[in-house]
C-alpha cells in the first residue's frame, strides 16, 4: 500500500519573485507540474496503474509538500524583511488561506454528509478541523471517498507550525530546516522500529517534515542566489541525478511490508527527484520541459486542481455504480470508465472554480486586508482606554 493523494498549494505556485527584483514572474511550468500530479492521483484512484516504475500518483504528495515549503518560505522571508512577521501579518496570511480553502471544501463535506456516506458521517469533525490524517492514522483505515483529505490536513498543520522556524536568526534558518528534516527521518525510523502501522508512519505530520523543509531550503538557496541558473552541464547532471534518485526510490519501494529500516529513506529520494526538477523548472523557463508544462491545457488543469482534488473521489463514488450497471466496470472497461470519470471530474471542478473558488479568492483577499485595519482599530481602542484610565487616576489623585 502506498500514499497517493494531492495537496493544493493555494497560493499560486506559478508566481515567484524574479531575479533581483520584487516583480513577480509567472511560472506556468509549475502550474503544469501541479496538473500532471493531480492527473496522476486521479488515474491511480480510478484504477489506472502504470506499473511500479511509472505510476507517479503515489509520489504526488511529496511534490506538493515541497512546493508548499518553497512557497511559504518565500512568503515568510518577504514578511520578515518588511517587518510584518508578527501576529498581524501571520493572522492575515492564515485568514486569506482559510477563506480560500473552506467554502469549496466544506461544501464537499456537506454533500458527502447529506449523501449518508459513513466516512463523512463518522469523521465529519475530523475533516472539518483538518485532522483527517490523524483520524486515519489512529483507525488504520482509509476514509473512502474522503481519504484524499489526509494530505490537505498535513499541509494545514504544517502551515500553522512552520512560521515558528522564522523566529530564529536569519543565519540559523538553514540549520533549523535541516534539523526539521532530521526529525522526519528519525520519526520514520522510530515508527518502523516500533512496529506502528504504515498509515501512522505516512499520515502523521512529522513523517513529511523533510519534504516541507527541502522546499524551504530550495527557496532560501534561490533567494540568496537570485541570478543562479544551471548551465548545460548542470542540466544534464541534474537530469541524470533525477533518474538515479527515481530508480533508487522505486527499488526501495519493493521493500514495503518487509519491516526494513531502509524504507525510512524512500521519501529522501523522492525529495531529491522533485527538488531538482522544481529547481530546473523555476530557473530555466525556456527548457523544453518547462515549455511543455507551461502549455495552456496543463495550465488550465493546474488552475482548477484544487477542485479536482476535493471532488474527484465523490464523483467516482457517485457515478461508479451507474457505470458498473451499464458494463463499464474497472475490470472489463477500465479506459472508457476512466475517461468518463475524468471528464465528469473536470466539469465539476470547473463549476466549483467558477461558482465557489474564484469568488472565494476575491473574498479571501479582502478578508486578509481587513486584519491590519482591525488591528489598527484595536490599538486605537487600547490607547483610548489607557488614556481614560490615566485621566481617571489623575482625577482621583488631584481630589
Q: Which three cell numbers stand for residue 48?
A: 489506472
Structure confidence at residue 105 (pLDDT): 95
Structure confidence at residue 26 (pLDDT): 53
Quote the pTM value: 0.84
Structure confidence at residue 158 (pLDDT): 94
Report domain extents, the chain: 15-398
Structure confidence at residue 52 (pLDDT): 73
- Please state the three-class secondary structure of the chain as a single string: CCCCCCCCCCCCCCEEECCCCCCEEECHHHHHHHHHHHHHHHHHHCCCCCCCCCCCHHHHHHHHHHHHHHHHHHHHHHHHHCCCCCHHHHHHHHHHHHHHHHHHHHHHHHHHHHCCCHHHHCCHHHHHCCCHHHHHHHHCCCCHHHCCHHHHHHHHHHHHHHHHHHHCCHHHHHHHHHHHHHHHHHHHHHHHHHCCCHHHHHHCHHHHHHHHHHHHHHHHHHHHCCCCCCCHHHHHHHHHHHHHHHHHHHHHHCCCCCCCHHHHHHHHHHHHHHHHHHHHHHHCCCCHHHHHHCCHHHHHHHHCHHHHHHHHHHHHHHHHHHHHHCCCCCCCCHHHHHHHHHHHHHHHHHHHHHHHHHHHHHHHHHHHHHHHHHHHHHHHHHHHHHHHHHHHHHHHHHC
CA distance 346 to 348: 6
Structure confidence at residue 182 (pLDDT): 95
**What is the mean pLDDT for each group of 10 consecutive residues in the chain (399 residues)?**
45 41 56 89 88 78 90 86 74 81 93 93 93 93 91 93 86 92 94 89 93 94 85 85 88 78 88 91 87 90 92 95 92 93 96 92 74 65 69 63
Amino acid at each position: 500500500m502506498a500514499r497517493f493523494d494531492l495537496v493544493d498549494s493555494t497560493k499560486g505556485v506559478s508566481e515567484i519573485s524574479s531575479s533581483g527584483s520584487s516583480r513577480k514572474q509567472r511560472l506556468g511550468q509549475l502550474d503544469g507540474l501541479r496538473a500532471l500530479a493531480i492527473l496522476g492521483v486521479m488515474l491511480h484512484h480510478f484504477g489506472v496503474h502504470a506499473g511500479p516504475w511509472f505510476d507517479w500518483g503515489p509520489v504526488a504528495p511529496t511534490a506538493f509538500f515541497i512546493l508548499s515549503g518553497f512557497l511559504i518560505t518565500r512568503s515568510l522571508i518577504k514578511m520578515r524583511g518588511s517587518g510584518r512577521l508578527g501576529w498581524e501579518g501571520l493572522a492575515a496570511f492564515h485568514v486569506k488561506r482559510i477563506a480560500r480553502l473552506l467554502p469549496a471544501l466544506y461544501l464537499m463535506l456537506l454533500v458527502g454528509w447529506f449523501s449518508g456516506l459513513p466516512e463523512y458521517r463518522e469523521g465529519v469533525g475530523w475533516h472539518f478541523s483538518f485532522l483527517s490524517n490523524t483520524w486515519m492514522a489512529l483507525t488504520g483505515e482509509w476514509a473512502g471517498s474522503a481519504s484524499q483529505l489526509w494530505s490537505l490536513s498535513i499541509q494545514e498543520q504544517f502551515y500553522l507550525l512552520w512560521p515558528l522556524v522564522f523566529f530564529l536568526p536569519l543565519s540559523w534558518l538553514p540549520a533549523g530546516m535541516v534539523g526539521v528534516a532530521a526529525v522526519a527521518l528519525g520519526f520514520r525510523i522510530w515508527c518502523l522500529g516500533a512496529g506502528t502501522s504504515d498509515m501512522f508512519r505516512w499520515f502523521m505530520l512529522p513523517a513529511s517534515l523533510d519534504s516541507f523543509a527541502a522546499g524551504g531550503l530550495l527557496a532560501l538557496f534561490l533567494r540568496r542566489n537570485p541570478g543562479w541558473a544551471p548551465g548545460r552541464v548542470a542540466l544534464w547532471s541534474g537530469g541524470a541525478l533525477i533518474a538515479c534518485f527515481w530508480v533508487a526510490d522505486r527499488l526501495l519501494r519493493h521493500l514495503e511490508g518487509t519491516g526494513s529500516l531502509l524504507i525510512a529513506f524512500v521519501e529522501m529520494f523522492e525529495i531529491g527527484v522533485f527538488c531538482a526538477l522544481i529547481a530546473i523548472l523555476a530557473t530555466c523557463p525556456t527548457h523544453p520541459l518547462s515549455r511543455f508544462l507551461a502549455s495552456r491545457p496543463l495550465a488550465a488543469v493546474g488552475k482548477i486542481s484544487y477542485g479536482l482534488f476535493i471532488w474527484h473521489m465523490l464523483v467516482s463514488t457517485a457515478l461508479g455504480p451507474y457505470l458498473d450497471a451499464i458494463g463499464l466496470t474497472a475490470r472489463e472497461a477500465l479506459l472508457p470508465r476512466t475517461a468518463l470519470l475524468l471528464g465528469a471530474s473536470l466539469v465539476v471542478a470547473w463549476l466549483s472554480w467558477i461558482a465557489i473558488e474564484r469568488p472565494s479568492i476575491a473574498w479571501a483577499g479582502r478578508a486578509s486586508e481587513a486584519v491590519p485595519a482591525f488591528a489598527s482599530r484595536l490599538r486605537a481602542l487600547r490607547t483610548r482606554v489607557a488614556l481614560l484610565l490615566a485621566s481617571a487616576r489623575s482625577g482621583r489623585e488631584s481630589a
